[in-house]
Chain A
Amino acid sequence: MQRSPWLRGGAFVCLTLLAAGCTTKLVPAAVTDFGAEKNILVTLRDGETVKGHIEAGSWVTYTSIGRVYRAQVDSVSLGGDIVLKRPYLQEEYGRYSLQRERMDESMLQIPSGVDRIEINAYKIVKVEEVAFDRARSARSAAFWGVTIFVAASILGARL
């Protein structure tokens, strides 16, 4: 079957974008950005993080040491207090088990059956916006574009 050059071109562009990905960077933000149309990364005192669109009703990712939860934002106060509801464990990394045991006392406990996590504003040490890094993405796309083109040329000549 004759393959269309448009099809091949489209596949090449898709592969390039897939390989390049959309690289991101962290831009300083504030608790006043909660509720805005931004992807926010909140870092807590113990190294835990909340990432996502911080607005009531949105689903965010909450990470503790080696554990990744998904939870829905129940409420956000003007002062920056965040209440999450319906958390569930999404992923757990075994290699952090030792640290988890050691820091058990100081970690925010989420026993099973708990349906609310309250994160007080005073625990927040850093608020950043996860922004699209245009320059880095362009560099990445240029590199992977050339690399995939060369790889495709080699395969085309040899297969």
Chain B
Amino acid sequence: MPRILIGLVLLGLPGFMATRSEAQAVVTTDTVGAPLFPDRTAAENGWLSRFNLDREPLGGRSRAMGGTGMAMPGDAEAHVYNPAAILGMSAIQVAAEFKLYSGHGSALSFPAQLQVTATDYLDASDYRVKPRGASSYNALSFGVPVTLVGNRGAFALSYRRVALTGYGDESRVQLQGALTSNAQATYGEEDLPRNGMDAVTFSAARAIIPQADLGVNFNWEGGTLKRSTSTSIAVLGNVFGSGSSSFTQDVSAFSFDAGTMLHFGSLQLGGSLYLGHDLHFRQGEERITTIPAAPTFDHRLLVIGHPLDHDLGVPTMFSVGSSYRLNPRITFAADFLYRPWGHSWITRTRVEPFIGFADPADPSTYFFTLIPATDTERWNALANAGLISDPSIKEETFWSGLPNTHSLRVGGEYYVKKSAKFDFPVRLGLRLENMPQRNLVIPSVDPSATGDKAYTGAVALYYQSLQTDPGCASGACQAQRDYLKRMAEFNYLNFLGDHPVGTTTITTGFGVRISEWSADLTLERTNFKVERFFLSNFDPLLNPTSSTTFESQTLLNIVFSTTMRF
């Protein structure tokens, strides 16, 4: 969307520069349906592309040790890794945790030109990207150790942020060309994710025999995902055009975990199982406020759409880990988390894509529409006309496009001071895992077209086929039509590359315990390199000339947690 709008704006830039005062006139807004948001899920529209469904590490000790915790008896928040680990509690306790995050990034490569129309290009330079800083609560937890049927036991209740909506970023680029009267225009986008998915978890654990503990978690997950993007274009510091887009959708689920921990002297082994379940996405809404259109800049559109409700299948996951206490002051830990998100699927109402040309003589009048099975009247009419195969099937399941995010974590802890009243541990850790997003690729269907013209190329190929085969009876024509239908229906998912985005996270931190109170400070630094759409965080396919950038980003988390024992 933003790039379409920039085209609209830049086309009228020279005239606008001459009559800027007129552009200050009141901008009228028309509210329209959702031609830019046809019936698809938020995942297909790209809104969930950076949504991380994996559990956030929790607890100062575990987080600073790389996120290990599968085999370390801990406090109430240790249930996130292994519900049996809460048996480490020795007193009733309340704990709280929050984090600040920020980061920096740089563009390793980006397109030298931005195509605005079929024939007009702008030179792009000085592309910059920077993750946004923000803060978030992590958890509030309460735990109580008990004697349960004659053995050690513990209960914990926590409210925690399972997953952030995502990390936002800001991107800027200088554009210059004939369309800007050779003046430098600064195009900027800000992406602001808000809220996320939270969980209320009740945990129970009990020692079965002196060497073995068992625990279970009941997780009620829910929240509202929100993302918004604002776009502006400025010349010589004067913003003369701006627009925005936003997305919101509720998410909920119930899940169950089970875990065990085995004690062999200084060596401890742990394992846990997160049972597969469905994540329900409901009540979505998308909005775009367009940049006022050139050349008059007095009129804009408010486009409102409603993403389809859908269920995302969360696969069953397991984790194993070990910890070894070398001596009372030194502990090492290592965990492996098997998280096969690549096997997750999305189920939603079936939609049938229709594509064509409004004017058969003009290939630029290409259009597509998606008819959902819930639109009974039109669905039945099209079915009766024989345009929908198996119309009785009204639900559709397809691959979510998520990558596996298996995680390898190692960490160590050294107590500089350790006594009955005062502890001062320092910690270090490393975590290797994949981002929840994949690298993006621009698929090419036209061997004569370069990558960033693939989508346009597909439309052109289909149009050419129709010239010689108006009924589209040939295999080649049908293949081209099927390709366009797939593009229309699954949108963002067609651009997912095979290679996931690997991340390396280094963690360090220290803790202080004085009598009944303790506090931990943890730093996490995550590095990754990712291929993303140029100047668009979501809805990239609305621009027919997609292109990608290759970026290096670093995210920095500063996490503060504190615990009081009573």
Please determine whether chains A and B interact with each other in the same assembly: yes
Structural contact, B137 and A142, CB atoms closer than 8 A: no
Tally of chain B residues near chain A (CB < 8 A): 20
User: A158–B223 Cα gap in the complex (Å)?
Assistant: 8
Which of chain B's residues have a CB closer than 8 A to the CB of A143? 94, 96, 517, 519, 562-564
Closest to A151 in B: B140
Residue among B97, B138, B562 with the most chain A CB within 10 A? B562
Structural contact, A146 and B517, CB atoms closer than 8 A: no
Structural contact, A142 and B94, CB atoms closer than 8 A: no
Structural contact, A147 and B517, CB atoms closer than 8 A: no
User: A150–B562 Cα gap in the complex (Å)?
Assistant: 11
Given that A146-B96, A150-B96, A153-B98 are contacting pairs, would A139 and B514 also be in contact in the complex, using a CB cutoff of 8 Å? Answer: yes
Which of B97, B515, B517, B519 is A150 in contact with, Cβ under 8 Å?
B97
Q: Is A140 an interface residue (CB 8 A)?
A: yes
Q: How far is the CB of A78 from chain B (nearest CB, A)?
A: 39
Which of A139, A140, A147, A157 is B96 in contact with, Cβ under 8 Å?
A147
Closest to B140 in A: A150
- A100-159: which have CB < 8 Å to B? 135-136, 139-140, 142-144, 146-147, 149-151, 153-154, 157-158
User: A151–B564 Cα gap in the complex (Å)?
Assistant: 15
Given that A143-B562, A146-B96 are contacting pairs, would A154 and B517 also be in contact in the complex, using a CB cutoff of 8 Å? Answer: no
Q: How far is the CB of A70 from chain B (nearest CB, A)?
A: 30
Which of chain B's residues have a CB closer than 8 A to the CB of A142? 517, 519, 562
User: A142–B195 Cα gap in the complex (Å)?
Assistant: 26
Structural contact, A146 and B159, CB atoms closer than 8 A: no
Structural contact, A147 and B562, CB atoms closer than 8 A: yes
Given that A146-B98, A147-B94, A150-B98 are contacting pairs, would A140 and B137 also be in contact in the complex, using a CB cutoff of 8 Å? Answer: no
Q: How far is the CB of B554 from chain A (nearest CB, A)?
A: 25
User: A31–B478 Cα gap in the complex (Å)?
Assistant: 103
- Interface 0/1 of B105-146, CB less than 8 Å to A: 000000000000000000000000000000011111000000
Structural contact, B140 and A154, CB atoms closer than 8 A: yes
Structural contact, B137 and A153, CB atoms closer than 8 A: yes
Which of chain B's residues have a CB closer than 8 A to the CB of A140? 517, 564
User: A154–B138 Cα gap in the complex (Å)?
Assistant: 9
Q: Is B560 an interface residue (CB 8 A)?
A: yes
Which of chain B's residues have a CB closer than 8 A to the CB of A158? 198
User: A96–B440 Cα gap in the complex (Å)?
Assistant: 74
Closest to A135 in B: B514
Structural contact, A146 and B94, CB atoms closer than 8 A: no
Q: How far is the CB of B166 from chain A (nearest CB, A)?
A: 16
Structural contact, A149 and B98, CB atoms closer than 8 A: yes
- A16-71: which have CB < 8 Å to B? none
Which of chain B's residues have a CB closer than 8 A to the CB of A144? 564
Which of chain B's residues have a CB closer than 8 A to the CB of A151? 96, 140
User: A101–B139 Cα gap in the complex (Å)?
Assistant: 50
Which of chain A's residues have a CB closer than 8 A to the CB of B139? 150
Q: How far is the CB of B426 from chain A (nearest CB, A)?
A: 20
Structural contact, A139 and B517, CB atoms closer than 8 A: yes
Which of B97, B195, B564 is A157 in contact with, Cβ under 8 Å?
B195
Residue among B137, B139, B514, B563 with the most chain A CB within 10 A? B137
User: A140–B97 Cα gap in the complex (Å)?
Assistant: 15
Which of chain B's residues have a CB closer than 8 A to the CB of A154? 137, 140, 159, 198
Which of chain B's residues have a CB closer than 8 A to the CB of A136? 515
Q: How far is the CB of A133 from chain B (nearest CB, A)?
A: 11
Structural contact, A147 and B140, CB atoms closer than 8 A: yes
Which of chain A's residues have a CB closer than 8 A to the CB of B138? 150
Q: How far is the CB of B170 from chain A (nearest CB, A)?
A: 23
Which of chain A's residues have a CB closer than 8 A to the CB of B195? 157
User: A142–B159 Cα gap in the complex (Å)?
Assistant: 20
Which of chain A's residues have a CB closer than 8 A to the CB of B560? 146
User: A120–B195 Cα gap in the complex (Å)?
Assistant: 66
Which of chain A's residues have a CB closer than 8 A to the CB of B96? 143, 146-147, 149-151
User: A140–B515 Cα gap in the complex (Å)?
Assistant: 11
Which of chain A's residues have a CB closer than 8 A to the CB of B563? 143
User: A130–B98 Cα gap in the complex (Å)?
Assistant: 35
User: A140–B138 Cα gap in the complex (Å)?
Assistant: 20
Which of chain A's residues have a CB closer than 8 A to the CB of B519? 142-143
User: A19–B94 Cα gap in the complex (Å)?
Assistant: 13
Q: How far is the CB of B189 from chain A (nearest CB, A)?
A: 25
Which of chain A's residues have a CB closer than 8 A to the CB of B140? 147, 150-151, 154
User: A144–B566 Cα gap in the complex (Å)?
Assistant: 13
Q: How far is the CB of B351 from chain A (nearest CB, A)?
A: 33
User: A144–B564 Cα gap in the complex (Å)?
Assistant: 9
Q: How far is the CB of B287 from chain A (nearest CB, A)?
A: 21
Q: How far is the CB of B141 from chain A (nearest CB, A)?
A: 10
Structural contact, A150 and B94, CB atoms closer than 8 A: no
Q: How far is the CB of A138 from chain B (nearest CB, A)?
A: 9
Which of chain A's residues have a CB closer than 8 A to the CB of B564? 140, 143-144, 147
Which of chain A's residues have a CB closer than 8 A to the CB of B97? 150
Q: How far is the CB of A56 from chain B (nearest CB, A)?
A: 38
User: A147–B519 Cα gap in the complex (Å)?
Assistant: 12
Q: How far is the CB of A118 from chain B (nearest CB, A)?
A: 40
Which of chain B's residues have a CB closer than 8 A to the CB of A150? 96-98, 137-140
Which of chain A's residues have a CB closer than 8 A to the CB of B514? 135, 139
- B376-417: which have CB < 8 Å to A? none
Which of chain B's residues have a CB closer than 8 A to the CB of A146? 96, 98, 560, 562
- Interface pairs (10), CB distance under 8 Å: A135-B514, A139-B515, A139-B517, A146-B98, A147-B562, A147-B564, A150-B98, A150-B140, A154-B198, A157-B137
Interface residues of chain B, those whose CB is within 8 Å of chain A, are 94, 96-98, 136-140, 159, 195, 198, 514-515, 517, 519, 560, 562-564
Pairs of residues from A and B, 7 with the lowest C-beta to C-beta distance, nearest first: A153-B137, A147-B96, A139-B517, A150-B96, A143-B564, A150-B137, A146-B562
Given contacts A146-B562, A150-B97, 12 further A-B contacts (CB under 8 A): A139-B515, A142-B562, A143-B519, A143-B563, A144-B564, A147-B96, A149-B98, A150-B137, A150-B139, A151-B96, A153-B136, A157-B137
